[in-house]
Structure 1
Amino acid sequence: MSPRNLVLAACVAATLATQAATAGELFGPGVISTGLQETSAALTPDGNTVYFMRSDFAEADDTILVSHRAAGRWSTPQVAAFSGQWHDSEPTLSPDGQRLYFVSNRPPHPDGAPVTATMNGRSFPGTNLWYVARQPNGGWGAPLHVDGALNDGAMIYNPSVAANGDIYFSAHREDSGKAYQIYVARDHGHATPERLALGDLANNRMDPAVDPLGRFLLYAGNEGDALGSADIYIVFRQPDGGWGKPEHLGGDVNSRTLENAPSLGPVFGELYVASARRDDVHFPKPRDDAAALQRRLQSPLNGSRNLWRFDISPLLRAHGITPAANAATAHPASAKKPA
């Protein structure tokens, strides 16, 4: 095959892989995914513990929960030891499982005021970045505020941590334009944040999920071809250290409802997404009695956001990404390369 045809074949394979994705499955139906709002799955490296956020429909009351898997079943979620008093959300684990990052409106300093944000004349609970560290007994230490320019503002969301300590997050900052954009803060979040060059600042970009080796990044947004109010996109690291053109994830990952808060599981290609997809209602429907109506309206697929699991390994392999890549050569991110 000629070099030109090889290139064409590779492009076709990548396109097909982008379109093909294993059918999604509802994660922990009735236990983790319920008739409330669940987002931001963070699984431990062994895959047997998951942290996630649960809230009301208005997302005025966010709390981080934890569930454990034993004998193939997830336990009834409990409030995480470090959560339950403040507006805590969007947990994420470092790749080694030794730190759990989250955002919160809790006061950054003892006896201080809770973090408050203002946008378009409206005030609401703000967010700063915090983390808890794994203790020798297997539990978590006290929450620690990440001091530095990353927390200069009050609107930081969905942190994601690479193996080298770079922290990716979405925020509304002075250089964000009117929408939210994605940033990276190196040195475990202590360095000055750098905005990722992903395209037109008129497009909203949220909720990054970075490959531990920095080879690709997933996020929620709308690049002009979203099926719903927000879809999941992927960008791949380029040889010069920058990022390629965002690609819309096809297959079943995106729907005509809201998809956001992507996160990567411990299995290669395992993707968790929060989605508001619901069961279709057709009329005339079988006549409900009060009990049947209550069950249906409180079921996971009632239009609330739930956690869904997908497999994007075919897409990653089509782009030359494998689980056995060498971290020393596969992670091009550094402070001297483009964000």
Structure 2
Amino acid sequence: MTQPFLHKISRALAPISLLAVACPPPALAADAPSLPLAAKPRLVGEGTVSGPFHDFAPALTADGRTLLFTRTDVGFSRMTLMQARLVNGKWEMPTVLPFSGRWNDGDGALSPDGARYVFISNRTEGGAQPKADLDLWQVMRQADGSWGEPTRLPDHINSGLNETYPSLAADGTLYFGRAGGGPILRAKLVNGAYAAPEPMPFTGMSFAIAPDQSFGILAMADANRNIDLFHVGRDGQAWSAPRRLDGPVNSPQMEFTGSIGADGKTLLFSSTRRDAGVTWPRQGTLRSAADVDGELLGVAHNGLRNIYSIDLPAFP
């Protein structure tokens, strides 16, 4: 049992490693300026939101009481959109969002007002068979608080490649990635419809935009080809060069963006870190297969993606 299980773990981590290799760091990444961020990340909902599998792409409602995120197994065989509610200061066990659970749905982005949710999916319009690639879909919140029916974004937004990691600004502007190593894309919302996407002057694994679009947090490969979080500032139409966030927000493992809170003061992200203080059995200790599986699947800090929150300063 142990050997096949460990094989599944390696398969789960392989796509993450390949992403780091496929997206080389920018030429100036090694000597690019950094930006101090002294705040310490907080694990969100250990054992409920952040569990033993991959939990990522978090988005929090403006009142801070509902968290939407993606969960998948160690083999990435099926992504599912989840929601969890904060009750008496604790995150309850998450449930599947009513429009998810059948298809491969993930990477959800919530608008700051909570009215629009954009995600990737292999579902098809009225079809029974999944698509070979992942497209961007959106679903609107109804007047009674329920969700409507998801609709696929138009062909000038979607492509024959996988779209990834959407992020929404307060005015509806959509930022997203696309497989193939190209730049982050931006599509403005004009009269209720998305304009053709335009490339941003930076490339990364994922990007989270601030509600007012004054800055964003970019996940990209550093000089060591590790995925870390970088700050990208905006002045008018000009964007600054990415600056790596120095401090405990980044780790020797990999960090991926999720979302910036509606007030622009909180970042939610995911990380494959194993937190300090977690005790693992010493090498040389005799363990059974059940012990090994319990160590890997019985805790949140097992090297798969967990969700973290960190306070953001007023960036210069």
TM beyond 0.5: yes
Q: What is the CA-CA distance between 1:25 and the residue it aligns to?
A: 1.5
* One-letter amino acid matched to 1:253: V
Q: How far apart in 2 are the matches of 1:40 and 1:318?
A: 23
| Distance of aligned partners of 1:282 and 1:112 in 2 relative to their CA distance in 1, 3 Å threshold | closer
Q: What is the CA-CA distance between 1:153 and the residue it aligns to?
A: 3.2
Q: What is the CA-CA distance between 1:75 and the residue it aligns to?
A: 1.3
Q: What is the CA-CA distance between 1:28 and the residue it aligns to?
A: 0.4
1:159 maps onto 2:166 in alignment: yes
Instruction: Pick from 156, 160, 177 the counterpart of residue 170 of structure 1.
Output: 177
Q: What is the CA-CA distance between 1:163 and the residue it aligns to?
A: 1.3
- Asked if 1 retains the 8 angstrom alpha-carbon contact of 2:112 and 2:261, the reply is no
- Asked if 2 retains the 8 angstrom alpha-carbon contact of 1:148 and 1:189, the reply is no
- Asked if 1 retains the 8 angstrom alpha-carbon contact of 2:270 and 2:306, the reply is yes
1:35 maps onto 2:52 in alignment: yes
Per the alignment, residue 228 of structure 2 pairs with 231
1:76 maps onto 2:93 in alignment: yes
* One-letter amino acid matched to 1:129: L
| Distance of aligned partners of 1:34 and 1:137 in 2 relative to their CA distance in 1, 3 Å threshold | same
1:192 maps onto 2:190 in alignment: no
Q: How far apart in 1 are the matches of 2:281 and 2:265?
A: 35
* One-letter amino acid matched to 1:212: P
- Asked if 1 retains the 8 angstrom alpha-carbon contact of 2:69 and 2:83, the reply is yes
| Distance of aligned partners of 1:189 and 1:263 in 2 relative to their CA distance in 1, 3 Å threshold | farther
Q: What is the CA-CA distance between 1:206 and the residue it aligns to?
A: 2.1
Per the alignment, residue 55 of structure 1 pairs with 72
* Of 32-41 and 57-66, the range deviating more from structure 2: 57-66
* One-letter amino acid matched to 1:128: D
Equivalent pairs counted in the alignment come to 278
Greater gyration radius: 1
Instruction: Pick from 98, 122, 127 the counterpart of residue 111 of structure 1.
Output: 127
Per the alignment, residue 300 of structure 1 pairs with 300
Per the alignment, residue 97 of structure 1 pairs with 114
- Asked if 1 retains the 8 angstrom alpha-carbon contact of 2:176 and 2:185, the reply is yes
* Of 272-281 and 246-255, the range deviating more from structure 2: 272-281
Instruction: Calculate percent identity across the aligned residue pairs.
Output: 32
Paired residue secondary structure (2:136):
strand
Instruction: Pick from 11, 18, 26 the counterpart of residue 43 of structure 2.
Output: 26
Superposed CA RMSD in Å reads 2.2
- Asked if 1 retains the 8 angstrom alpha-carbon contact of 2:211 and 2:264, the reply is no
Instruction: Report Cα offsets for 1:201-242 as digits up to 9, x if no partner.
Output: xxx5122110111100112111x435x631111100024x12
- Asked if 1 retains the 8 angstrom alpha-carbon contact of 2:265 and 2:311, the reply is yes
Instruction: Report Cα offsets for 1:245-270 as digits up to 9, x if no partner.
Output: 10111111111111113311345421
- Structure showing greater relative contact order (alpha-carbon pairs closer than 8 Å, 6 or more residues apart): 2
1:144 maps onto 2:151 in alignment: yes
Paired residue secondary structure (1:297):
helix
Unaligned runs of 5+ in 2: 1-32
Paired residue secondary structure (1:181):
coil
- Asked if 1 retains the 8 angstrom alpha-carbon contact of 2:211 and 2:262, the reply is no
What is the TM-score of this pair, normalised by structure 1? 0.76
Instruction: Report Cα offsets for 1:259-309 as digits up to 9, x if no partner.
Output: 113311345421111111115747447765776654432211111111111
What is the TM-score of this pair, normalised by structure 2? 0.81
| Distance of aligned partners of 1:88 and 1:156 in 2 relative to their CA distance in 1, 3 Å threshold | same
Instruction: Pick from 261, 268, 272 the counterpart of residue 268 of structure 2.
Output: 272
Paired residue secondary structure (1:65):
strand
Per the alignment, residue 252 of structure 1 pairs with 248
Q: How far apart in 2 are the matches of 1:268 and 1:111?
A: 39
Q: How far apart in 2 are the matches of 1:195 and 1:237?
A: 15
- Asked if 2 retains the 8 angstrom alpha-carbon contact of 1:67 and 1:76, the reply is yes
* One-letter amino acid matched to 1:234: H
| Distance of aligned partners of 1:294 and 1:214 in 2 relative to their CA distance in 1, 3 Å threshold | same
